[in-house]
Amino acid sequence: MSNPQISIIAPLYNETESLPRLITRLNAVMDKSPLTIEVVLIDDGSRDNTAVLMQQLALTDRRYQCIFLSRNYGHQIALTAGIASACGTEALFIIDGDLQDPPELLTEFYQKYQEGYDVVYAVRKKRKESLFKRMAYSLFYRLIRSISYVDLPLDSGDFSLISRRVADILKQMPEESRFIRGMRSWIGFRQIGVEYERDARLDGESKYSFGMLQRLAYNGIFNFSEYPVKIITRMGMVTISIAAIYLIQTLIKRFVYHDVPQGFTALLFVIVLFSGVQLIALGLIGEYVLRIFFQAKGRPLYVIREVIRQQQRQPLPGHSADISFPASQPTT
């Protein structure tokens, strides 16, 4: 296959149930499109038969390139591996492997790209998920937009089409704690949103646990906002004001009313208040220190166990964040 114009990138983790349906819809998109398209599937250390199905697919269909990570690194890192490997000369189309992001929107996104937009991101006007999740997502997007120094679009995830030059810039950004939708916005260029209704998950269960969503939210907040640091100063000013008011009240009781304050309850309150503020401040600073610690180690973002491209195993072209190992077992 000649160099593809478009690379479709889909990270997978334990998607045995949904993968056949995904492949059927991707094949239909590629068959109908006049564009030259490749699909880059990334196995993020799946524990089911996802990797086996991917191997069979890559060895029978030259349009598919499959990357197998050495373990589960998480959704954002798997996307990073796909972006680094994609060969699309014009643009990269990023979707989720659970089909909540319809691949059929490629045509509409590509039209916007032809109009001169470097980033075409999807805006979820309706989500078919639980009320709790809808409320949590809505609150998070509005919170991070209000405190971020980057113009982050509301209700927009990783589902997007990015130009080749945006993809190349993303490859040069070595953040260990990645928040790709924020990095995409930080890059700039012309960007536009396209509204769509996010489908419900058809097969299996969501692989994003509450803890993983919390970590993703933390990465967004601490990587693209100065507010956590500034709030420490504001909390300090508030606690100093409370202490000053309490001091004035104590002096008035002592010298005006000649009343010796008993103070045990008030003292306990002040100690607890100041202790809580200090712990919160240490926690916020610790989040930044933790990110500096992991970044300073300089480890590769991921390790690639195997790559199957165009009916043969090939080492991935060198990227600073890639380490490739030979397959543990040969495939016929």
Q: Whose CA is closest to 194, among 164, 153, 142, 143?
A: 153
pLDDT at 94: 93
Q: What is the helix (H) or strand (E) element at residue 68, kind and residue range? A: strand 64-69
**Which amino acid type is present at position 87?**
C
- Give the SS3 label for residue 41: strand
pLDDT at 209: 57
Using the structure block, give the residue that is written with the tokens 């078919």: 128
CB 43 within 8 A of CB 66: yes
Using the structure block, give the residue that is written with the tokens 């000013």: 237
pLDDT at 23: 92
pLDDT at 38: 92
Phi, psi of 256 (to 5 degrees): -95, -50
Q: Which fold has domain 6-225+300-313?
A: Spore Coat Polysaccharide Biosynthesis Protein SpsA; Chain A (3.90.550)
**Bridge partner residues of 225 (DSSP):** 148
Return the domain boundaries, the chain. 6-225+300-313, 227-297
Q: What is the helix (H) or strand (E) element at residue 280, kind and residue range? A: helix 264-297
pLDDT at 266: 66
pLDDT at 205: 60
Q: What is the helix (H) or strand (E) element at residue 12, kind and residue range? A: strand 6-12
Q: How far is C-alpha 103 from the geometric centre of its chain's CA atoms?
A: 19
- Give the SS3 label for residue 173: coil
CB 155 within 8 A of CB 141: yes
What does the alpha-carbon distance between residue 46 and residue 72 come to, in Å, rounded to a whole number?
Answer: 7
Count the neighbouring beta carbons within 10 Å of the beta carbon of residue 120: 25
pTM higher than 0.85, yes or no?
no
pLDDT in tens, the chain (332 residues): 567 889 999 999 988 888 899 999 999 999 998 998 999 999 998 888 888 899 888 888 889 999 999 898 888 899 999 999 888 889 999 998 888 888 999 999 999 999 999 999 888 876 666 666 667 767 776 777 777 777 778 777 888 999 999 999 998 888 888 888 888 888 888 999 888 877 665 555 655 556 666 666 767 677 767 777 777 777 777 777 777 777 777 777 777 776 766 666 667 667 777 777 777 788 888 888 888 887 788 888 888 888 888 644 444 443 333 433 333 333 33
